[in-house]
Amino acid sequence: MKTRTVSLGSKGSFKTHPGALHKALGIPLGEPIGQGRIDKAENSSNPRIQRMARSAKGLTAMGKK
């Protein structure tokens, strides 16, 4: 899996791992992750999945301008 860097301009940048949340939730890569699944993943007992779900929610919001 190849990492991708997201630039926030003067605020810095961070790396994303495309497809990691799909893999963690067992969802095929071609199938979209619905908002309900992301909300459910935010309440997971696994802190890594919680963090990925919060990031997915934030990145989704970034795409809408």
Q: What is the pLDDT of residues 3-39, one digit of tens each?
A: 989 888 899 998 888 899 999 999 999 999 999 999 9
Q: Band of the pLDDT at 2, cuts 50, 70, 90?
A: confident
Whether 30 is covered by a domain: the verdict is yes
Whether 59 is covered by a domain: the verdict is yes
CA gap 45, 31 in Å, rounded: 24
Domain that holds residue 22: 18-63
Whether 12 is covered by a domain: the verdict is no
Considering the entire predicted model, what is its pTM? 0.77
Return all residues near 11 (Cβ < 8 A) that are at least 6 apart: none
Domain count, the chain: 1
Whether 40 is covered by a domain: the verdict is yes
Whether 6 is covered by a domain: the verdict is no
Whether 36 is covered by a domain: the verdict is yes
Whether 10 is covered by a domain: the verdict is no
Whether 7 is covered by a domain: the verdict is no
